[in-house]
Amino acid sequence: MTNIFVDSDIIIDLLAKREHYVEAAELLSVIRNKEIYAYTTPLVLANVDYVVTKYSNRRKSKKAIQELRKYLSILTMDEITVDKAIDSPLTDFEDALQYHAAESQNIDFIVTRNVKDYKKGNIKIITAEECVKLHKAKDDMQSQPRSNTIHG
């Protein structure tokens, strides 16, 4: 099973119905169907709360986060994560925190629109659209019938 980290921008695209809403909604559909495991951090949820509360209200933010928690597991962020982020070649401290939290849990992909922000890491960075396409391609390969012919 594929493990992904979902960054703030993807969730905010979904909740605010921003330009990349369709891709974010498709990704959430795959996550809801338990076809991939999705993770995020408390920091992402704090970012989401800030934005939703600012542009809507606290009640809507709390409801949105409660709904997201049904589908997103939370990665831990501890002093080791912070120390790695401080020493990280990633220039944005928040991104470094996210990256090292994901790295500590063997996440396969970080899903974000800010692909360039994570360039210096080892985890593959993809967009929501790319993640959905990869998942569909994997499903298509698994559902194709196998040939019974033995070539020799």
Question: What pLDDT is recorded for position 148?
Answer: 46
pLDDT at 18 over 80: yes
Averaged over 13-24, what is the pLDDT? 92
pLDDT at 63 over 70: yes
In one-letter notation, the amino acid at residue 37 is Y
Q: Where does the chain have alpha helices with state H?
A: 8-16, 21-32, 42-55, 58-69, 79-87, 93-104, 128-143
What does pTM read for this prediction? 0.87
Question: What pLDDT is recorded for position 152?
Answer: 43
Averaged over 76-88, what is the pLDDT? 96
101-149 pLDDT, tens digit per residue, is: 999 999 999 999 988 888 778 899 999 999 999 988 876 656 555 444 4
Share of the chain above pLDDT 70, in %: 91
pLDDT at 15 over 80: yes
pLDDT at 77 over 80: yes
Domains of the chain plus CATH, in order, are 3-137 (3.40.50.1010)
pLDDT at 2 over 50: yes
Q: How confident is the model at residue 55 (pLDDT cuts 50, 70, 90)?
A: confident
CA-CA distance, 78 to 60, in Å (whole number)? 29
- Token digits of residue 120: 């210096």
Averaged over 60-87, what is the pLDDT? 95
Whether the CB-CB separation of 99 and 110 falls below 8 Å is answered with yes
